A and B are shown apart, each in its own frame.
Chain A
């Protein structure tokens, strides 16, 4: 119920935060929304000696398009993302996922960046970013480095982030051509983790699929990119048959475990159904006048 004792710092600038981490990164944790970290601390599954609260740093909550990218700051809250017009208009897979993260109260504090840094395989944002081919900016003592999402998410609760680094920006490539996307999530109730989640994107060019993104939640040791499914979509005709085939490949790529939420077979079947439905919805969106 109560966290172990810790020291608390609330730096007013990114530099200050980074210098604290440079010194004590091994025993420190960054606090953004805290909606994943604080519950762990209360159960004493996490006991950092130092908590670096970055919520006092101004200017980190931006969601803005620059050129061919959408850039999201580390303090962009899930509720702001859920209400963002930019997301709804041009990044529909994100707009679909945001309202499904946890519950409305948790969304008021939780952040996209925080979720990615936490890397729960049952976390929704990881799959969304994989489907979009996002890149992440990690800032540390020696400056910035840009990491592809595929390399960033390494395993359950394991990322490429060094203990001295802060995830300072999420960059999503702006879709070209006519685009659509959605996120389907099977959960037993609002606030439960996904039984299965599927992030699906489609970019059409001249009537054919230029690029398809398919990534899965809670059916593997980390958010899973269904590569074979994506490959089957590239350059294909956007027909029901194509979508069914991609859905089948996505189901094969899944590595679900049997548990109280359902058997592995069930989860695999749900992946297949969700990817098929998701591609259909994405296609409709992309071809809407």
Chain B
């Protein structure tokens, strides 16, 4: 089937089997290997890309579904040779070790910061709770995302750690973590 997927702003045209996963389309047909594959049950999240700006698991979408849609991968973060603040922040805060989950974490972080540039720790942890990391224990990933937020909004102020996500000890009654 012929499809055109706009990847990092570039229309990419290909003839693919319907069963080709979006993740494999990006890695093998488009040749962008920054999007990784880590599991086979839609649990780990390393395949995360942005679909029209929204983070989704590219291993659980067929490439044909993305026909005509816009996909942002990690390779699209750098613009005109300039690193995105989230990339800079991940390096500054040691938010990566083996790097395998990093593209996904940065894209989810970017999407979060575009909705809320100053998220408290709970909100960051909630936002990345669909993405596994085995190396960092998440501590520095959270710091990196928060730091990137400060950079992006140039507020420069540390955020108060007010819990916006569901408190761990109680099920949320009506709160939504992303509000």
Contacts and interface: CB of A to CB of B under 8 A. Distances in A.
Interface of A: 1-8, 10, 31, 34-35, 38-39, 41-43, 51, 53, 55, 79, 82-83, 88, 92, 95-96, 98-100, 102-106, 108-109, 182-185, 190-191, 281, 285
B17 to A, nearest CB: 7
A5 B18 contact: yes
Contacts of B59: 42
Contacts of A99: 166, 172, 176-178
B129 A104 contact: yes
A191 B171 contact: no
Interface residues of B, number: 39
A106 B176 contact: no
A126 B56 CA distance: 24
Given A8-B1, A105-B130, A96 B171 contact: yes
Contacts of B21: 2, 42
Given A34-B61, A34-B65, A99-B166, A106 B42 contact: yes
Interface in B49-82: 51, 54-57, 59-62, 64-65, 67
Contacts of A185: 171
B97 to A, nearest CB: 21
Given A43-B40, A105-B131, A106-B42, A5 B176 contact: no
A103 B179 CA distance: 16
A285 to B, nearest CB: 7
Given A99-B177, A104-B129, A182-B173, A191 B19 contact: no
Interface of A is mostly: mixed
A5 B17 contact: yes
B49 to A, nearest CB: 10
B65 A1 contact: no
Interface of B: 1, 17-19, 21, 40-43, 45, 48, 51, 54-57, 59-62, 64-65, 67, 108, 126-131, 166, 171-174, 176-179
Nearest to B68: A56
21 contacts: A2-B19, A2-B21, A5-B17, A5-B19, A8-B18, A10-B67, A34-B65, A38-B42, A41-B19, A42-B40, A43-B41, A82-B176, A99-B166, A99-B172, A103-B130, A105-B45, A105-B130, A106-B60, A109-B61, A182-B173, A285-B174
Contacts of A39: 41-42, 60
Contacts of A82: 176, 178
A195 to B, nearest CB: 13
